[in-house]
C-alpha cells in the first residue's frame, strides 16, 4: 500500500471540502480521491463516512470501482472500499481490507467504526475467516504492543469477543483471539480463551497459544506443561523446542534450556531458530565470544533463514565494543565530564601526573579554550612515541600541547561521518555493513577525520554528546573512520592491502584513542572474514601484552578499553583472554578500594586551577 499521492498534503477537513465540491459538480473520481485522503488523515471522522455514503449513493453499482485495488493501492482508498463492502453486505471482505490496512500502518485507527464492533456482526462471519484475520493482525504488531499503541487495535479485540461468544467451541478462533488479547495486555482473557480452545479442539497450535498466555501471566509451570504437550502433538516442530528453551532461560534455568536446544539440534543441526537460541544461551552461560562469532558466521552463511532473528543483537547490546563504544578513561576526560555535569566555570591550567592520550588532551582543550597543560616527568616508555615504527604520524607535540600532524579532511568527508557516527551498533558485522557509505572517501580524508573530528550534529544525540561528554563524540568519529578504512580499496587482497597496513600502523602508533579505534576495526574484520582471524588474534595478543608490560611502569589510560576489545576478538588464545580479564578485574578492584572515590574527587578538584 501507499500513503502518498500526487496532490499536496491536506487536512481531513480540506479533503472533505474538495470532495463535496467534486460531488456537486459530478466529478466522482476526484470526489473519491479526496474522500480517501480524508480517511487517511482521520479514519473515524463521522463527516468522512457521511461523505463516503453520499458518494456511494451518487455512484450506485459502480461505487467500488472508484476505489480500485492494485499492487500499490492508496491506503485511504483501501479503507474506503472496506467500508463500502460492509455497507453492501460483505463485511468479511471489508474486514480483510481493514486488517490489511492495519498490517500496513498499525498505529492508525482503521477499525474504530461502529460496524466493526457491532455485536450483531458476529453472526454474519465465518469463524475460520475471523481466526485468520486475527492471526494476520498479530503477525503485524509487536508482542506485546506498547501501551500507547493498543487503542487502534482494540476494535479487533471487541470483534473477537463477539465472535468467540457466537462460536464458543471453535478452537482456532479462540487461540487466535487469545494471541491478540495477550498482545494487548489482556493476559487473563488470553489464558481463558486459549484454555477453552484447547479443551474444545486439542492441537499443537492451541497448546502453543496456551503456553504463551500462561507465560505472559507468569505461570511458568503451566506454560512449560502446555508447550511440552505441543511437542507431543508434533515432535518435529523444532520452533517449539526453541520456545521452551527461551522460556526456561528467561527464568534462569539455563541447563534445562540447553537440554531442549540440544534435542532440537539432534533432529536438525541447521534449524535456524535452534541455532540462534543455542548460541545465545551458551553466551549467557559462559560469556565466551566464540558463541557470538559462530552465530554471526551462521547468519552470514544462511541468509535465507525462516525469519529474522535478534539473538546476536540482543547479546551484543550495551556490551563494550560488541555493541557500543566504551567511554574514554583518564583524568582529563573525567574532569571535563565533572565540569560539564556541575556547570562549573572555565579553568586556566591543568597539571597532570602523566601524559594523557593526545585525543583526550585535544578534546579537553577544545572544550576549555585557553587551557594551559603542564605534565610532570613520568616513567617511560614515552606515550608520545609510537610503539613501533610508523609511516602515518597522526600527532605532533609542542611542549605539552598535542596537535594534529595531518591536514583537515574535506567538508564532504566531515558531513558524511557526521551523518553516520553513532556510539552504538547492533553487532560488529552490522557496524561493518553500515560503514560501507565511507568506501569512496580518500585515505587522507579518513586519516584526517581521526585528528580533526567535525562538530557533533545538531540532532538530539549530538546535543547530548556535546553538552555532557564531548569525548564520546570524538571517539565515535574515530571508530567509524577506522571502520571506513576497512572499506578502502577492497579490490586489494587483504594481505597486501592499504587498509590492513594503515590499520596495523595505527594500532602500534602513539598511545591514543585512535589505537582503540584501529584495533576495533581489525577485530570487526575478523568477525566478517574468518580468513583474517588468526592474524588479528595475534595482533590483539601482542598489543595487549605490550599494554600490560607498560602498565607495570606507568598508568595506561586505554588499557581497560583494549582489554574489553580483546574479549570481543574472535579466535583469541586462552592466555590473552585471561590477561584481558585480569586487567579488567584489577581496574575494577582499584576503583572499589576504600577511600578511592574520595581520593578521586580530591584529585579532580585539584586538577584544575581556576582563573
Give the whole-angstrom CA distance, residue 11 versus residue 8: 10
- pLDDT score for 117: 97
What are 508's three cell numbers?
Answer: 602500534
Q: What is the pTM of this model?
A: 0.83
Please spell the DSSP secondary structure of 376-429, one letter per residue: ----SS-TTS-SS--S---EEEETTEEEESSPPPPHHHHHHHHHH--SB-SSHH
Q: What pLDDT, in 10s, does the model give residues 418-454?
A: 999 999 999 999 999 999 999 999 999 999 999 999 9
- pLDDT score for 3: 66
User: Are 236 and 226 a contacting pair, CB within 8 Å?
Assistant: no
Q: What pLDDT, in 10s, does the model give residues 390-402?
A: 888 999 988 778 8
- pLDDT score for 597: 39
Torsion of CA 478, 480, 486, 491, to 10 degrees: -120
Per-residue pLDDT for 488 more than 50?
yes
Q: What pLDDT, in 10s, does the model give residues 83-121?
A: 999 999 999 999 999 999 999 999 999 999 999 999 999
Which residue(s) pair with 373 in the sheet?
350
Per-residue pLDDT for 606 more than 60?
no
* % of the chain exceeding 70 in pLDDT: 93
User: Mean pLDDT, to the nearest integer, of 466-473?
Assistant: 87
Reported as a pLDDT band with limits 50, 70 and 90, residue 5 is low
3-state secondary structure of 92: helix
Q: What pLDDT, in 10s, does the model give residues 150-193?
A: 999 999 999 999 999 999 999 999 999 999 999 999 999 999 99
- pLDDT score for 604: 37
Reported as a pLDDT band with limits 50, 70 and 90, residue 591 is low
- pLDDT score for 348: 63
Burial class (CB in 10 A: 0-12, 13-18, 19+), 589: exposed
- pLDDT score for 593: 52
Per-residue pLDDT for 466 more than 90?
no
Reported as a pLDDT band with limits 50, 70 and 90, residue 367 is confident
Q: What pLDDT, in 10s, does the model give residues 495-522?
A: 999 999 999 999 999 999 999 999 999 9
Per-residue pLDDT for 547 more than 70?
yes
- pLDDT score for 9: 78
Amino acid at each position: 500500500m501507499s500513503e502518498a499521492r500526487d496532490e499536496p498534503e491536506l487536512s481531513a477537513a480540506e479533503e472533505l471540502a474538495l470532495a463535496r465540491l467534486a460531488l456537486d459538480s459530478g466529478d466522482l473520481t476526484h470526489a473519491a480521491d479526496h474522500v480517501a485522503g480524508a480517511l487517511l488523515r482521520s479514519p473515524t471522522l463521522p463527516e468522512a463516512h457521511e461523505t463516503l455514503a453520499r458518494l456511494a449513493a451518487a455512484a450506485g453499482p459502480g461505487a467500488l470501482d472508484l476505489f480500485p485495488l492494485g499492487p500499490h493501492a492508496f491506503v485511504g482508498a483501501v479503507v474506503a472500499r472496506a467500508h463500502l463492502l460492509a455497507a453492501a453486505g460483505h463485511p468479511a471482505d471489508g474486514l480483510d481490507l481493514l486488517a490489511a490496512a492495519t498490517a500496513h500502518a498499525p498505529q492508525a485507527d482503521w477499525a474504530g467504526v461502529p460496524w466493526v464492533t457491532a455485536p450483531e456482526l458476529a453472526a454474519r462471519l465465518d469463524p475460520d475467516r475471523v481466526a485468520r484475520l486475527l492471526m494476520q493482525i498479530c503477525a503485524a504488531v509487536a508482542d506485546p504492543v506498547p501501551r500507547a499503541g493498543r487503542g487502534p487495535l482494540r476494535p479487533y479485540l471487541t470483534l473477537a469477543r463477539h465472535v468467540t461468544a457466537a462460536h464458543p467451541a471453535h478452537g482456532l478462533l479462540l487461540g487466535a483471539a487469545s494471541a491478540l488479547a495477550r498482545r494487548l495486555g489482556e493476559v487473563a482473557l488470553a489464558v481463558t480463551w486459549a484454555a477453552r480452545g484447547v479443551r474444545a479442539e486439542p492441537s499443537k497450535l492451541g497448546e502453543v497459544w496456551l503456553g504463551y498466555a500462561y507465560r505472559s501471566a507468569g505461570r511458568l509451570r503451566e506454560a512449560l506443561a502446555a508447550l511440552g504437550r505441543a511437542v507431543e502433538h508434533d515432535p518435529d516442530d523444532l520452533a517449539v523446542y526453541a520456545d521452551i528453551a527461551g522460556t526456561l532461560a528467561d527464568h534462569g534455568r539455563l541447563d534445562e534450556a540447553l537440554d531442549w536446544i540440544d534435542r532440537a539440534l539432534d533432529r536438525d543441526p541447521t534449524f535456524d531458530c535452534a541455532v540462534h537460541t543455542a548460541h545465545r544461551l551458551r553466551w549467557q552461560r559462559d560469556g565466551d565470544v566464540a558463541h557470538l562469532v559462530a552465530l554471526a558466521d551462521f547468519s552470514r552463511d544462511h541468509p535465507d533463514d525462516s525469519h529474522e532473528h535478534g539473538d546476536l543483537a540482543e547479546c551484543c547490546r550495551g556490551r563494550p565494543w560488541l555493541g557500543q563504544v566504551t567511554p574514554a578513561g583518564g583524568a582529563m576526560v573525567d574532569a571535563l565530564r565533572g565540569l560539564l555535569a556541575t556547570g562549573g566555570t572555565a579553568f586556566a591550567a591543568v597539571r597532570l601526573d602523566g601524559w594523557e592520550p593526545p585525543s583526550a588532551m585535544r578534546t579537553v582543550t577544545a572544550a576549555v579554550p585557553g587551557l594551559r597543560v603542564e605534565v610532570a616527568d613520568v616513567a617511560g616508555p614515552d606515550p608520545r612515541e609510537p610503539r613501533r615504527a610508523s609511516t602515518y604520524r597522526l600527532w605532533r607535540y609542542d611542549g605539552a600541547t598535542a596537535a594534529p600532524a595531518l591536514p583537515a579532511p574535506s567538508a564532504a568527508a566531515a558531513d558524511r561521518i557526521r551523518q553516520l557516527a553513532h556510539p552504538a551498533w547492533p553487532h560488529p558485522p552490522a557496524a561493518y555493513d553500515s560503514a560501507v557509505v565511507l568506501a569512496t572517501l580518500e585515505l587522507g580524508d579518513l586519516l584526517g577525520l581521526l585528528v580533526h573530528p567535525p562538530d557533533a550534529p545538531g540532532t538530539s544525540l549530538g546535543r547530548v554528546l556535546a553538552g555532557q561528554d564531548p569525548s564520546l563524540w570524538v571517539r565515535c568519529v574515530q571508530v567509524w573512520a577506522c571502520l571506513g578504512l576497512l572499506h578502502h580499496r577492497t579490490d586489494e587482497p587483504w594481505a597486501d592491502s592499504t587498509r590492513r597496513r594503515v590499520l596495523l600502523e595505527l594500532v602500534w602508533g602513539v598511545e591514543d584513542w585512535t589505537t582503540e579505534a584501529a584495533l576495533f576495526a581489525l577485530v570487526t574484520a575478523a568477525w566478517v572474514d574468518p580468513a583474517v582471524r588468526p592474524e588479528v588474534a595475534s595482533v590483539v595478543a601482542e598489543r595487549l601484552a605490550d599494554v600490560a608490560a607498560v602498565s607495570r611502569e606507568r598508568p595506561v589510560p586505554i588499557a581497560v578499553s583494549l582489554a574489553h576489545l580483546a574479549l570481543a576478538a574472535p579466535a583469541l588464545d586462552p592466555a590473552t583472554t585471561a590477561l584481558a580479564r585480569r586487567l579488567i578485574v584489577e581496574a575494577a578492584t582499584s576503583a572499589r578500594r576504600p577511600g578511592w572515590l574520595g581520593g578521586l574527587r580530591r584529585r579532580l578538584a585539584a586538577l584544575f586551577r581556576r582563573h
